[in-house]
Amino acid sequence: MRHTLPIAPQFYVTAPQPCPYLEGRMERKLFTALQGESADKLNDSLSQQGFRRSQNVLYRPSCAECSACLSARISVADFAPSRSQRRTAARNGDLIRRATSPWASEEQYELFRSYLDSRHADGGMADMDVFEFAAMIEETPIRSRVVEYTAEDDKQLIGVSLTDVLSDGLSMVYSFYAPDMARRSLGTWMILDHIEIAREAGLPYVYLGYWVPGSQKMGYKSRFSGLEVYAGGRWQKMKDPEQFNADMHPLSTDPIAEQVANIHLPDTRPVR
């Protein structure tokens, strides 16, 4: 009788390259492929350990002398909107939400290009063409949705979020929006709306990606109450952003072998 044993995912490390968040630093990522029948379980488990998804890859920062990047999520039960966030919700009360399967469209790409050209013209995605954009949206082996926001009066598409549905929450993989509508605070609004979607679905968390102390680009995430960050191998409630820093130290990051040994993998054995 032949038995097929489950194959454990293999982990790899990228070559160092300039950090997009903190000037003068180098970033490195620990990553593994996301594929096969157990992709959902692996994505759930590693997301709960600070990993993020990009197409068919799960990754987590693993910089040699820096541990500034912290995975962040909002506890839906602990979230209470600030006065500013309530005003943002009121300003966007006319928007229509539409959740669809992960298919890319020309209208999405036009909005994406406008967003990049205005906000991230020198970023790593600046040269992404329409085919690469379609791959970003459509290449997903797990349960994903594209959440679109349109203006009620003219049906103009002004916001999009590629969102994964996890067992314990929603993961906002990538969001973009009309850069010429600053008054709407669309980035904040989409997070507020995802908190509401998670609440309605009975999901406890909204995963936001990485929060980086000292990075102005990521500062907005610390303005949400109920925020938790993954630090020291566990999720911690964010009480004061100042308690976390971006100082460099040669002992900031465990050796790769120790990091991999401490990753908890899901049980992928078939149920009999």
pLDDT at position 125 is 74
* Token pair belonging to 172: 């906002």
Residue 49 near residue 70 (C-beta atoms within 8 A): no
In this prediction, residues 134-161 reach a mean pLDDT of 94
**Residue 205 shares a structural domain with residue 173:** yes
**Residue 111 shares a structural domain with residue 41:** no
In this prediction, residues 11-34 reach a mean pLDDT of 92
**Residue 43 shares a structural domain with residue 99:** no
Residue 6 lies in a domain: no
**Residue 236 shares a structural domain with residue 164:** yes
- Of 27-31, 66-70, 71-75, 212-216, which gets the smallest average pLDDT? 212-216
**Residue 212 shares a structural domain with residue 127:** yes
Backbone angles phi, psi at 31, to 5 degrees: -145, 165
270 pLDDT band, cuts 50/70/90, is low
Residue 224 near residue 81 (C-beta atoms within 8 A): no
pLDDT at position 4 is 41
Residue 270 CA: distances (Å) to CA of 6, 40, 70, 265, 267: 9, 14, 33, 15, 9
Residue 9 has pLDDT above 80, yes or no: yes
* Token pair belonging to 170: 């929603």
**Residue 108 shares a structural domain with residue 61:** no
pLDDT at position 8 is 78
**Residue 162 shares a structural domain with residue 43:** no
Distance CA 93, CA 23 (A): 38
**Residue 176 shares a structural domain with residue 112:** yes
Q: What pLDDT, in 10s, does the model give residues 89-146?
A: 999 999 999 999 999 999 999 999 999 988 765 666 778 899 999 999 999 999 999 9
Q: How many domains does the chain have?
A: 2
Distance CA 231, CA 214 (A): 16
User: Largest Cα–Cα distance of the chain, in whole Å?
Assistant: 67
In this prediction, residues 204-211 reach a mean pLDDT of 96
Q: What pLDDT, in 10s, does the model give residues 235-244?
A: 999 888 887 8
CATH number at residue 160: 3.40.630.30
**Residue 89 shares a structural domain with residue 63:** no
Distance CA 62, CA 13 (A): 8
Residue 178 lies in a domain: yes
pLDDT at position 269 is 58
Amino acid residing at 266: P
- Beta-carbon contacts of 97 under 8 Å, excluding residues fewer than 6 positions away, are 147, 148, 149, 193
% of the chain exceeding 90 in pLDDT: 68
Residue 241 CA: distances (Å) to CA of 74, 76, 244: 14, 19, 6
**Residue 65 shares a structural domain with residue 93:** no
Q: What pLDDT, in 10s, does the model give residues 28-68?
A: 999 999 988 899 999 999 999 999 999 999 999 999 888 88
Within 10 A of 223 (CB to CB), how many other CB atoms are there? 13
DSSP 106: H
Distance CA 30, CA 141 (A): 20
Distance CA 52, CA 100 (A): 21
Which structural domain range is residue 22 located in?
11-70+247-261
In this prediction, residues 257-263 reach a mean pLDDT of 89
Beta strands 169-177 and 205-211 are parallel
**Residue 24 shares a structural domain with residue 148:** no
- Of 53-57, 168-172, 243-247, 252-256, which gets the smallest average pLDDT? 243-247
pLDDT at position 36 is 87
**Residue 143 shares a structural domain with residue 153:** yes
In this prediction, residues 206-224 reach a mean pLDDT of 89
pLDDT at position 121 is 59
